[in-house]
Structure 1
Amino acid sequence: MRAKCRRRRVEVLVGVVMVVVAAGVVWVLLSEPKTLKPPPVFVVTPRHSHLSRVHNTPGEELHTQPGSEVPPDRMWHLDLKGGAPRVEVIERMMTLAAQAGATSVLVEWEDMFPFTGDLANLSAYNAYTFDEVKRVERAAKSAGLTMVHLMQSLGHLEYALKLPQWAGLREGESPGEACPSHPGSASLVIEAVRQLMATLPTSMIHIGADEVFTLAQCQRCQARDLAPLQLYVEHVAHVARYLKTKWGVRVLVWDDMLRHAPSHLLHTLAGLVEPTVWAYGPDVSRMVPPYILRTYSAIFPKVWLAPAFKGATGPRAIMPDVARHAANTLAWVQVGQRMRRYANMNVAGIVITGWSRYDHFAVLCELLPPSAPSLVLTLLTASRGFLTPATLHDAHVLLGCPPHVILDPARDPHLWAARDCAFPGANMASFLHRYARLRDDIRAMQREAKDTGGWLTDYNIRHNFSSPKRVREATSDLRSFTSSLRDLYGEVEPVLAQYHNNATVEEWTEQHLTPLNHTLSTLARTVAALLTHTTWPRRPLEWRPPPGT
């Protein structure tokens, strides 16, 4: 019996030692993430760790095929003006987009292209190298995608017009739009396109030209005594005509500025540009009435349609509303089918836009890797022409989801469930899910304490007058929230740096984690100050005895 007890004690002791050693190893792994070799970008990180886990669905077949009445060209918009991914991430995303039905990729380089010569200052300090740009081109070709450049030509030129070198091209005080009458505006665009084409020749170029809010405001434009839209159309026609003559390319342009233009101005652009009609709500016919599409179909030989897969539901969103974007895409596909049948509109294709910032000065919105489920589902919808359980099944397969994951946009609009799948970016989606829950919990605590409750209001704080018991109750989760935020700070670099450069990691951290840290720190100091008091004055709290008493 004694020997048995001794043996049992030894087994328990060995078990305790093993647990302690294992805990020590885990502590070392978590406390020194920078010493670890980062996993490949396609490795999925489990929800509460940054160790690898991969789901495989070998041999599983797609249930759908591209439809016959869908836009023949499905273009994926790769916006690089915010959170530009590492090239190896783009390579993986090219393949995934092609598998989901994309036929081409619209690359908006902005300041991430390595411009040279007189345009050298256009490039960000961390722009891609020429070798990286060529890798992007090879990745598109390998995936079977046709590359198309997007070079803004009038609006959204902030990345150039913010600089002293090109400040003289501004239409007004804002660096948002260039002057259509200044010859330097067209020269800037043409030289930028020349450098793009010298490095990566393409058969189509999108010249943007959307959201030009300040027309005919400068003295140069006013001296011409032309209507604002006429100034706009003349500039676009000049740029498009030059590009078509020089390189023989098809020229695309966003249509929002054309919707209010009279037909004689639209005829000026006929044969020069192909309008890209965009609207990002579920009811696209309300935003773009059918008569506008009928007008386009009568004037332009080819028209494009444009929903979104991200970057269209709020400038500070962190995860796409997949349900909204899929419905938006389906609406455009159906509108295109109706306009082909009843208005003879030639729908050349559909552009699945994905904005990374609302403009050059805006903060980051949804990053590309965790937005992969939205990209896949919108491309499947665009290429199949329907959104059914079979479409969701194919998204499940392409995203590498395990059997327990259910993709249900109706109940899970952001498809958070996909964070357990194996697409490039799933571990970032898992990280963002934890961040979003913590952010919402902190906001709820702050709202309950300051706006709903009656013991942590500005009045209480200003007068150092509150119930210690109530203060503790209102902030009972403060310590655990602080610990959770500390965990996120420890994981943000190991996770995000797999997909983005350090500048993007730092920018995202400052925009999202730093405000939460400020909120919790401020609240902690407030609580500490209130709890130092053990006695309080009689009311009124700022009582001043009358003079002479």
Structure 2
Amino acid sequence: MNMSLSNTTKLVHLDLKGAPPRISYLFELIQLFADLGANGILIEYEDMFPYEGELKVLQSKAQPPYSREEILSIQDASNSRGLEIIPLVQTFGHLEFVLKHKTFRELREVDYCLGTLNPHRKRGVWLVQEMLRQVMELHPKSTSLHIGGDEVYMLGLGEESKHRLSTPGHSVHQLFLSHIVKVAKGIQESFVNLKLIMWDDMLRSMTPETIKESGLVGLVQPMLLDYSPALDVGNTVMLMEKYKSAGMSQQWVASAFKGSTTVYTCITNTQRHVDNHLQWFKVAASLSAGIEIKGIALTGWQRYDHLSVLCELMPVSVPSLASCLQTLLQGGFTDEAQMKVVETFGTVEIGDTERLSSRTSSSFTGAKLAKLIVNLMSDVESGELRHFQNNMFVRGWFTPYHRQKRIISPLIAQQIKTQAKMILDVVECNVQDVRQEMCLLYPDSTVQEWMDQHVTPVLEPLQNLLRDMESVLNEMGLCT
């Protein structure tokens, strides 16, 4: 019972398209993943890979990508702990980091969607083949590669696609499948024994016959993704049985330990992710004998896509990762699994993220930052700060009308200022602590981005209010 997941490969997904860890912190994370029970890493470099030649433009500008030496050292560190490395390179959808560049703009399916590749251009196929080639040449020991293939939005809406679809016998499903088959065959010509994995979401509405006829079977193994704590077991089982009937009996599944709650979540809700894994156990227990689950990828999205905000950083998600891995290892979130998490992190109350702030026995790298972030976000979310504009004194004596007419009661101004400064001083002190600690683990550009996205927008209205008030008092000759 439940052993079909407990005994499979457990991959931790390392999403580097946001908040790429400093290399020293990355080495610590690799050790931590191994200590927590993982036996592989699904690594998505995106713009942190040192692409060369015509692809050099893809390298991150916000911070330098990892060097070739660093990429090799990541693999050495992983291999020395028995962690298999599987690179993930998008080849159809989610190519925002590629198609945002002017030089590749004409390869978009439609101009206003930066994520989807036009599958009809030879240069587009060359582009993804070249990305795959460069990544795999720098991963000589990797025996598997994930070629993405999820969320290929707007496929079929480009002019060339419309033209193709106007001839009888062509469908959007075939557009998708023929591109994936072309890419898969191309990479396997260069890397003969390479096993290929792809996300399954674009296959879900297809019939087994459509999948069979495409030539996809035997080329690629599907990875079924569902991160919901209320995952629909019956539907998922039906889907996996459908893929089996199409000839794809070897399948992967993907859960989540962070990055799937909302696009802007800052603090991980561990219970939600443990529940997702418990649902996957039910799926595994309900499958017919012919389906072989090759492994499970615990996804940890750092952004929903290249252009969205940063979601939870790794340090605040480590307790969730530990709980999810223990759930997999023990066949459920058993007493034994909970004890293991307690030993490591000093708390059982996994659903209560606030407990992170009072945890004293946490010793993992990043534990201090996790506590600081929890404290800071508690301040930032406080009604006092977020709704200061509704404060009686502000609503009564310094409304937008008063700000426009440049007038205020100096006595009331003093009252507002005292209250505002009291709130701001606490938060700004915490901001400095978080910034200092975050800089040790992440590039400066990530620290600035996280602050600008999650903290600045909440502090700015209050800072602006104080600035306007000082300015009005100045004009009234009452500078304080």
Using structure 1 for the length normalisation, give the TM-score.
Answer: 0.77
Worse overlay, 153-162 or 453-462? 453-462
1:508 to 444, 450, 471: 450
1:132 has 2:102 as partner: no
What amino acid is aligned across from residue 437 of structure 1 in structure 2? Answer: S
Distance 1:278 1:457, change over 3 A: farther
1:197 has 2:136 as partner: yes
Pairs within 5 Å for 1:464-475: none
Distance 1:501 1:260, change over 3 A: same
1:153 to 91, 108, 112: 91
Shift of 1:290: 3.2
Distance 1:307 1:418, change over 3 A: farther
Shift of 1:275: 1.0
Q: What is the match of residue 261 of structure 1?
A: 206
The separation in 2 between residues aligned to 1:467 and 1:343, in whole angstroms, is 78
Pairs within 5 Å for 1:354-503: 354-397=300-343, 399=344, 401=345, 405-412=346-353, 415-418=356-359, 421-441=362-382, 443-447=383-387, 449-450=389-390, 455=396, 458=400, 477-503=419-445
Q: What is the match of residue 125 of structure 2?
A: 186
Aligned residue pairs, count: 461
1:283 has 2:223 as partner: no
Asked if the contact 1:309/1:354 (under 8 Å) is kept, the reply is: yes
Shift of 1:416: 4.5
Pairs within 5 Å for 1:31-180: 70-125=6-61, 126-173=64-111, 174-180=113-119
The separation in 2 between residues aligned to 1:321 and 1:474, in whole angstroms, is 36
Deviations 1:179-212 (A, max 9, x none): 1222222211111111112111211000111111
Asked if the contact 1:497/1:505 (under 8 Å) is kept, the reply is: yes
Query: Per the alignment, in what secondary structure is the counterpart of residue 455 of structure 2?
Result: helix
The separation in 1 between residues aligned to 2:296 and 2:76, in whole angstroms, is 23
What amino acid is aligned across from residue 232 of structure 1 in structure 2? Answer: F
The separation in 1 between residues aligned to 2:98 and 2:40, in whole angstroms, is 27
What amino acid is aligned across from residue 378 of structure 2 in structure 1? Answer: R
Query: Per the alignment, in what secondary structure is the counterpart of residue 197 of structure 2?
Result: strand
Q: What is the match of residue 215 of structure 1?
A: 155
Worse overlay, 300-309 or 368-377? 368-377
Asked if the contact 1:150/1:206 (under 8 Å) is kept, the reply is: yes
The separation in 1 between residues aligned to 2:164 and 2:403, in whole angstroms, is 61
Distance 1:251 1:485, change over 3 A: same
The separation in 2 between residues aligned to 1:436 and 1:457, in whole angstroms, is 27
Give percent identity, aligned residues only: 29
1:317 to 262, 265, 270: 265
Shift of 1:296: 1.8
Unaligned runs of 5+ in 1: 1-65, 535-549
Asked if the contact 1:419/1:426 (under 8 Å) is kept, the reply is: no
Higher RCO structure (Cα 8 Å, ≥6 apart): 1
Unaligned runs of 5+ in 2: none
Greater Rg over alpha carbons, structure: 1
The separation in 2 between residues aligned to 1:302 and 1:475, in whole angstroms, is 65
What amino acid is aligned across from residue 202 of structure 2 in structure 1? Answer: M
Distance 1:229 1:445, change over 3 A: same
Shift of 1:219: 1.8
Asked if the contact 1:76/1:102 (under 8 Å) is kept, the reply is: yes
Asked if the contact 2:5/2:328 (under 8 Å) is kept, the reply is: no
1:347 has 2:293 as partner: yes
Distance 1:196 1:419, change over 3 A: farther
The separation in 2 between residues aligned to 1:518 and 1:380, in whole angstroms, is 42
The separation in 1 between residues aligned to 2:154 and 2:431, in whole angstroms, is 42
Shift of 1:375: 1.5
Using structure 2 for the length normalisation, give the TM-score.
Answer: 0.88
Shift of 1:413: 7.3
Distance 1:356 1:465, change over 3 A: same
1:328 has 2:279 as partner: no
Asked if the contact 1:320/1:414 (under 8 Å) is kept, the reply is: no
The separation in 2 between residues aligned to 1:145 and 1:490, in whole angstroms, is 36
Asked if the contact 1:449/1:475 (under 8 Å) is kept, the reply is: no
2:172 to 200, 205, 228: 228
Deviations 1:297-318 (A, max 9, x none): 3221211111111111122222
What amino acid is aligned across from residue 503 of structure 1 in structure 2? Answer: S
Query: Per the alignment, in what secondary structure is the counterpart of residue 6 of structure 2?
Result: coil
The separation in 2 between residues aligned to 1:144 and 1:314, in whole angstroms, is 33
The separation in 2 between residues aligned to 1:416 and 1:183, in whole angstroms, is 53
The separation in 1 between residues aligned to 2:19 and 2:234, in whole angstroms, is 29
The separation in 2 between residues aligned to 1:490 and 1:135, in whole angstroms, is 32
Shift of 1:474: 6.9
The separation in 2 between residues aligned to 1:280 and 1:468, in whole angstroms, is 54
Shift of 1:131: 1.2
The separation in 1 between residues aligned to 2:78 and 2:226, in whole angstroms, is 27
Shift of 1:520: 2.1
What amino acid is aligned across from residue 119 of structure 2 in structure 1? Answer: P
Deviations 1:497-547 (A, max 9, x none): 11111221222222233324312212324555788999xxxxxxxxxxxxx
Deviations 1:132-180 (A, max 9, x none): 1111111110111000010001011111111112111100012111012
Q: What is the match of residue 45 of structure 1?
A: none
Shift of 1:484: 1.9
Worse overlay, 190-199 or 387-396? 387-396
